Amino acid sequence: MKNIKFNALLIILLSASYIKAQIQVYDSSVKSIQLYREGFVLSKPWIRLHTGEHLKLEFDILNDEEESLYYTFIHCDAMGQQDELEKYQYIENFTENEIEAGEPSFQVKQDYMHYTLLFPNEDVHLTKSGNYKIIVYAGDEEHPLFECPFWIVEQKVNIDAQVIACTLSGERNRKQEIRFEVTPTLVSILNPYDDVQVVIMQNGDWHSRLTGIRPKTVTGGKLNYEYDGRICMDGHNEFRQFNTKSLFTQTEKVNRIYVKHDSVQVSLFPDDTRNGLAYFKTDDLNGECYIGSQDRTEKTTESEYVSVHFSLHSAYPVQDGDVYLYGALTQWNLSEAAKMKYDFQSHRYYNSLYLKQGIYDYEYIVVDRNGNWDYSYFEGNHAETQNQYTILVYYQKPGEFYQSLIGIGSVESYEK
């Protein structure tokens, strides 16, 4: 098994593959939200408690006028819901702070202001581990522009994990099984069956999370989670990908780049269903995106916003279900903006998203009338798919009113 110890080197090596959970956007003028570990643009939003590490938040507002923006933090439980702690119990210094002035865009067709925030900082320190949300607002906290989850960890356990083919014979071709062991190092856990909660995510997709996982056995203080066939997840397929870093060169997926009504349009080649096809290994970002232009010096303020046009061949519309674009390009959310429309004449689904230049992963998912998600309808499902699994270990000490995060571990189903 792969022993995951969190020294400084390993944190750097694994930082690009940790979780990115659901972002909520309440104002359509807010675009290109990114929250990551300082110095690692493709890393995910977690830091270690009391270590001097920082998270960096970046976002745009489609406006040429600077706004006064503020932020605060909410402590949450393992499910991302606000817990019983008051702000003074986990925030030192000021509970509300202003974001520094934004930078205006330069020589682009779509005007926008780019904002950056580094935290913790001299105005605010966070004193407890666990799940958090940062809330950004213009007027008052009750009417936010958006909110982003992040994690602060106290690494008090070692996580030894591996991914194997699902041990259930009928699922071996499409499911992957996660086995792991948690060894406390800097904490004493008296009742691990009730006081420890584990959450597992695939590729940082909040909707994919597995919860309610209890240890199979506890021996010598070690919590063993090696269930046969219980902790399994569909392998899905590698993400599709397109590249708009340059608007002067048509990359593999880009069919046409043109200007219409003073806005840049990018038409992608039509996609086909991959369900029923053999697995084909491709490199992807596990659903993430890298934002920036290769034709400009300053990617944050000189990258264009473009209308990206998607289409998907389908002989007939999905019965009793809707098709959505999905991935970091939709902030891992379902929304009307991400819903595909069907055209009976061309036998295609189609939609457009307004995105800043960059490299984007995406996939098509189907959601039925009962809210059930089907990742495989157009994408297929393979046990060979390269996936990133993140294991989060929470502990609620007897007498405490919150869940601390005492361990984060990561393991890949197959090496990239």
Same domain? 12 vs 144? yes
Higher pLDDT residue, 372 or 13?
A: 372
Same domain? 221 vs 312? no
Same domain? 98 vs 225? no
Phi (first) and psi of residue 194, to 5 degrees: -110, -30
- At residue 13, the pLDDT reads 30
Q: Is the pLDDT of residue 9 over 70?
A: no
Q: Is the pLDDT of residue 6 over 50?
A: no
Same domain? 397 vs 368? no
Q: Is the pLDDT of residue 204 over 90?
A: no
Mean pLDDT, range 1-12, rounded to an integer: 36
SS (H, E, C) the chain: CEEECCCHHHHHHHHHHCCCCCCEECCCCEEEEEEEECCCCCCCCEEECCCCCCEEEEEEECCCCCCCCEEEEEEECCCCCECCCCHHHCEEECCCEECCCCEECCCCCCCCEEEEEEECECCEEECCCEEEEEEEECCCCCCEEEEEEEEEECCCEEEEEEEEECCCHHHCCCEEEEEEEEEECCCCCCCHHHHEEEEEEECCEEEEEECCCCCCEEECCEEECCCCCCCEEECCCCCEEEECCCCCCCCCCEEEEEEECCEEEEEECCECCCCCCCCCCCCCCCCCEEECCCCCCCHHHHCCEEEEEEEEECCCCCCCEEEEEECHHHCCCCCHHHECEEECCCCEEEEEEEEECEEEEEEEEEEECCCCEECHHHHCCCCCCCCEEEEEEEECCCCCCCCEEEEEEEEECCCC
Mean pLDDT, range 340-356, rounded to an integer: 98
Same domain? 214 vs 175? yes
- Give the residue from 307, 303, 237, 299 showing the smallest Cα distance to 268: 307
Residue 306 lies in domain = 240-379
- Give the residue from 123, 98, 104 showing the smallest Cα distance to 62: 104
Determine if residue 138 is left, alpha or beta; phi over 0 gives left, psi from -120 to 50 gives alpha, anything else beta.
alpha
Same domain? 246 vs 227? no
pLDDT digits (tens, 9 = 90+) for 36-78: 999 888 888 999 999 999 999 999 999 988 889 999 999 999 9
Neighbours of 386 (CB within 10 A): 18
Same domain? 258 vs 339? yes
- Give the residue from 243, 201, 195, 192 showing the smallest Cα distance to 220: 192
Question: For strand 263-268 and strand 305-313, is the pairing parallel, antiparallel, or unpaired?
Answer: parallel
Last residue of a domain, one of 153, 182, 201: 153
What domain count does the chain have? 3
pLDDT band at 3 (very low <50, low <70, confident <90, very high): very low
Q: Is the pLDDT of residue 416 over 80?
A: no
Same domain? 305 vs 397? no
Q: List the structure tokens of 146.
A: 């958006």
Amino acid, single-letter form, for residue 171: E
Mean pLDDT rounded to a whole number for the chain: 92
Same domain? 144 vs 177? no
Last residue of a domain, one of 137, 153, 169: 153
What residues form DSSP beta bridges with 365?
Answer: 324
Same domain? 334 vs 283? yes
CATH number where 135 lies: 2.60.40.10
Residue 235 CA from chain centroid, whole number: 17
CATH number where 272 lies: 2.60.40
How many residues belong to the chain?
416
pLDDT digits (tens, 9 = 90+) for 273-300: 999 999 999 999 999 999 999 999 999 9
Last residue of a domain, one of 118, 153, 188: 153
Same domain? 167 vs 289? no
pLDDT digits (tens, 9 = 90+) for 103-159: 999 999 999 999 999 999 999 999 999 999 999 999 889 999 999 999 999 999 999
Mean pLDDT, range 314-329, rounded to an integer: 96
Same domain? 183 vs 141? no
- In percent, the amount of the chain with pLDDT more than 70 equals 94
CATH number where 162 lies: 2.60.40.150
